[in-house]
């Protein structure tokens, strides 16, 4: 445990927010209720962040252009009063900081516009038969074996296959995607230690090298996939800035289009974001259903009617992404508290989704809930580009499991991963 984590462990004893405690990770919702009751802003020393637990504040700050996922489009590290990342972390930052999720306008707008074409509701709707067929096949396999681990057999392979197929990742290479993604995503937890950083750096180097090679191959022999489409956009334009890490002032942008680094970063972002949250939503969702048998019975009785609202309610009730950060680029005020430029806010999505000011009976799982302004896909310019696809995937696996495994039940107590930000189950053993 490094010094920060040790301080965190100590400070945790004093307050309800305790992201390093297994009990908190297992059920953070009572602590969120205490935070909401205690105020709109809480400075949390262990991660040096301002925690924002209320729905209205989270929703407003996500749309507020005085905040950003990065500050490097406006300030240097020195100007912003933040240390530059250590040089040995550079491969991770080059990869991460050139993906659209960690860019702001104008780079974000330029890249998002290109990628968005592949993710419009109409475009992804065409994938529905493929996604449903795959979900059905995976569930049939689980049922034929009398059960197994729902995470490994259904929740994981479905979104991994779908996003890999969209990008044109050959089947033989797909086994590496999950471990690379898990190692990179370790950096999104609060105060990652050196070991986590070393794993993320190694995965970033390997994943980037793999994609560089794949992009070269697709350039020679284009296919119908998203990588080939991004290459076509890349090749259309002239280079206007040198290649180099964004946090060193580079970024290798091309006028109106993508640099090679942005292309690699965007592919990694799509491959990682394209499955991590869906895996955890599926597992958290079934965990919630098993602990609310009357709701599961109602869903089984009327799947056609309840499926659309059930998907939204499961996303709200136990959201897979608990916290998102923003840098404060200009001073802001929340609930009378001034948060100065250079600070970081931690938007508590899990808490916002249980705020009684936004939801009637927020701690009740109500699969028929019609008025459900959950924030699980975020809001503002970084609103999840994959939301329409995620909804299709979640409905497909839920539908297939309801249909083909009408007696699906828990076979053992679920095991939880100890991550808080990207929160989900390690194993969910079921019997059919
Ligand atoms: C249940 C599943 C999913 C959830 C809960 C989820 C949630 C989110 C959230 C909360 C953000 C914004 C983070 C922020 O505001 O800081 C986001 C962004 C993003 N998501 Fe998702 N996501 C899911 C599935 C997917 C899928 C299937 C894909 C891709 C195929 C995807 C691709 C992305 C991308 C590329 C971004 C960055 C958008 C931008 O910065 O403009 N996500 N997602």
Q: Residues 285-298: pLDDT tens digits?
A: 999 999 999 999 99
Q: What is the pLDDT of residues 87-125, one digit of tens each?
A: 999 999 999 999 999 999 999 999 999 999 888 888 899
- 3-class SS string, 372-432: CCCCCCCCHHHCCCCHHHHHHHHHHHHHHHHHHCCCCEECCCCEECCCCCECCEEECEEEC
Which ligand 1 atom sits closest to the C-alpha of 101? 40
Using one digit for the tens of pLDDT, what is the confidence trace for 408-420? 999 999 999 999 9
pLDDT digits (tens, 9 = 90+) for 208-254: 999 999 999 999 999 999 999 888 877 665 444 444 444 333 444 44
CA-379 nearest atom, ligand 1: 15
- Please tell me the distance from the alpha carbon of residue 18 to that of residue 128, in angstroms, as a whole number: 40
CA 398 to ligand 1 center in whole angstroms: 20
3-state secondary structure of 51: strand
Each residue of 372-403: pLDDT tens digit? 999 999 999 999 999 999 999 999 999 999 99
Distances, alpha carbon 151 to alpha carbons 9, 239, 328, 413, 430, in Å: 30, 44, 37, 14, 10
CA 215, CA 209: separation in Å to the nearest integer? Answer: 10
- Cβ-in-10-Å burial (0-12, 13-18, 19+) of 66 comes to middle
- Res 255 pLDDT > 70: no
User: Does residue 120 sit in helix, strand or coil?
Assistant: coil
Identify the residue whose C-alpha is closest to ligand 1 atom 38.
Answer: 382
- Cα of 319 vs centre of ligand 1, distance in Å, is 13
The pair phi, psi for residue 321, each rounded to 5°, is -115, 105
User: Which protein residue has the closest C-alpha to ligand 1 atom 1?
Assistant: 278
Which of 70, 274, 277, 283 has the most ligand 1 atoms within 8 A of CB, as the residue to mutate? 277
Distance from the alpha carbon of residue 301 to the mean position of ligand 1, in angstroms: 32
Q: Which protein residue's CA is at the shortest distance from atom 17 of ligand 1?
A: 384
Number of neighbouring beta carbons within 10 Å of residue 305: 13
Residue 185 half-sphere exposure, CB side, CA atoms within 13 Å? 25
**How far is the centre of ligand 1, averaged over its atoms, from the C-alpha of 34 (Å)?**
28
* Cα(377) to centroid(ligand 1), Å: 6
Mean pLDDT, rounded, for 319-339: 97
In terms of Cα–Cα distance, which of 122, 98, 100 is closest to 113?
Answer: 100
Q: Are 42 and 69 in contact (CB under 8 A)?
A: no
> What pLDDT is recorded for position 345?
98
Residue nearest to atom 3 of ligand 1 (CA): 277
Say yes or no to pLDDT of 8 above 70.
Answer: no
Identify how many contiguous H helices and E strands the chain contains and give both numbers. Answer: 20, 12
Nearest ligand 1 atom to alpha carbon 269: 35
SS3 86: coil
What is the distance between the alpha carbons of residues 5 and 111, in angstroms, rounded to a whole number? 36
- Catalogue all structural domains in the chain, each as residue range(s) with its CATH number: 83-322+356-431 (1.10.630.10)
Q: Ligand 1 mean position to 220 CA, how many Å? A: 31
| Cα 203 to ligand 1 centre (Å) | 21
Give pLDDT tens digits for 11-66.
Answer: 444 579 999 999 999 999 999 999 999 999 999 999 999 999 999 999 999 999 99
CA of 324 to the centre of ligand 1 (A): 11
Strands (E), 57-98: 67-68
* Alpha-carbon distances, residue 409 vs 309, 364, 412 (angstroms): 22, 21, 9
CB atoms within 10 A of CB 171: 9
335 in the Ramachandran plot: left (φ > 0), alpha (ψ -120 to 50) or beta?
A: left
pLDDT of residue 14: 56
CB 312 within 8 A of CB 374: yes
Question: Do 102 and 68 contact (CB within 8 A), yes or no?
Answer: no
Ligand 1 atom closest to residue 324's alpha carbon, by position in its atom list: 16
Task: Give the per-residue pLDDT at 235.
Answer: 64
Which pLDDT value is given to residue 239?
46
DSSP label at 361?
S
pLDDT for the residue 236: 60
Ligand 1 neighbours, Cβ below 6 Å, are 69, 100-101, 112, 163, 269-270, 273-274, 277-278, 281, 320-321, 324, 376-378, 382, 384-386, 389-390
DSSP classification of residue 1: -
Q: What is the pTM of this model?
A: 0.92
The number of beta carbons lying within 10 Å of the beta carbon of residue 273 is 21
pLDDT reported for residue 232: 84
What pLDDT does 121 receive? Answer: 87
pLDDT digits (tens, 9 = 90+) for 159-218: 999 999 999 999 999 999 999 999 999 999 999 999 999 999 999 999 999 999 999 999
């Amino acid at each position: 445990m490094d010094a920060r984590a040790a301080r965190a462990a100590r400070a945790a004893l004093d307050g309800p927010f305790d992201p390093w405690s297994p009990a908190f990770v297992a059920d953070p919702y009572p602590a969120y209720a205490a935070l909401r009751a205690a105020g709109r802003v809480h400075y949390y020393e262990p991660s040096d962040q301002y925690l924002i637990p209320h729905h209205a504040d989270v929703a407003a700050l996500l749309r507020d252009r005085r905040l950003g996922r990065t500050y490097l489009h406006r300030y240097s590290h020195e100007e912003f009063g933040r240390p530059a990342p250590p040089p040995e972390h550079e491969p991770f930052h080059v990869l991460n900081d050139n993906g659209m999720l960690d860019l702001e306008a104008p780079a974000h707008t330029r890249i998002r516009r290109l990628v968005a074409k592949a993710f419009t509701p109409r475009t992804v709707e065409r994938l529905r038969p493929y996604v449903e067929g795959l979900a059905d096949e995976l569930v049939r396999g689980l049922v034929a074996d009398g059960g197994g681990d729902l995470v490994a057999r259904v929740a994981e392979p479905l979104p991994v296959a779908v996003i890999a197929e969209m990008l044109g990742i050959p089947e033989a290479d797909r086994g590496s995607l999950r471990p690379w993604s898990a190692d990179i995503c370790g950096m999104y937890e609060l105060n990652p230690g050196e070991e986590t950083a070393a794993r993320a750096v190694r995965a970033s180097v390997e994943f980037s090298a793999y994609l560089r090679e794949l992009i070269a191959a697709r350039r020679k022999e284009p296919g119908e996939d998203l990588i080939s489409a991004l290459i076509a956009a890349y090749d259309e334009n002239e280079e206007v800035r040198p290649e180099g890490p964004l946090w060193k002032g580079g970024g290798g942008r091309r006028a109106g289009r993508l640099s090679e680094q942005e292309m690699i970063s965007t592919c990694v972002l799509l491959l990682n974001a394209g499955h991590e949250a869906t895996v955890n939503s599926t597992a958290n969702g079934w965990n919630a259903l098993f602990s609310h048998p009357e709701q599961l019975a109602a869903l089984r009785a009327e799947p056609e009617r309840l499926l659309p609202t059930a998907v939204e309610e499961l996303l709200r009730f136990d959201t897979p992404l608990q916290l998102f950060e923003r840098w404060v680029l200009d001073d802001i005020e929340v609930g009378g508290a001034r948060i100065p430029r250079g600070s970081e806010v931690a938007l508590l999505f899990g808490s916002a989704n249980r705020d009684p000011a936004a939801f009637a009976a927020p701690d009740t799982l109500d699969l028929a809930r019609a008025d459900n302004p959950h924030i699980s896909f975020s809001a503002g310019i970084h609103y999840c580009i994959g939301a329409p696809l995620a909804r299709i995937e979640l409905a497909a696996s839920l539908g297939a499991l309801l249909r083909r495994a009408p007696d699906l039940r828990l076979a053992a107590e679920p095991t939880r991963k100890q991550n808080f930000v990207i929160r989900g189950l390690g194993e969910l053993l079921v019997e059919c």
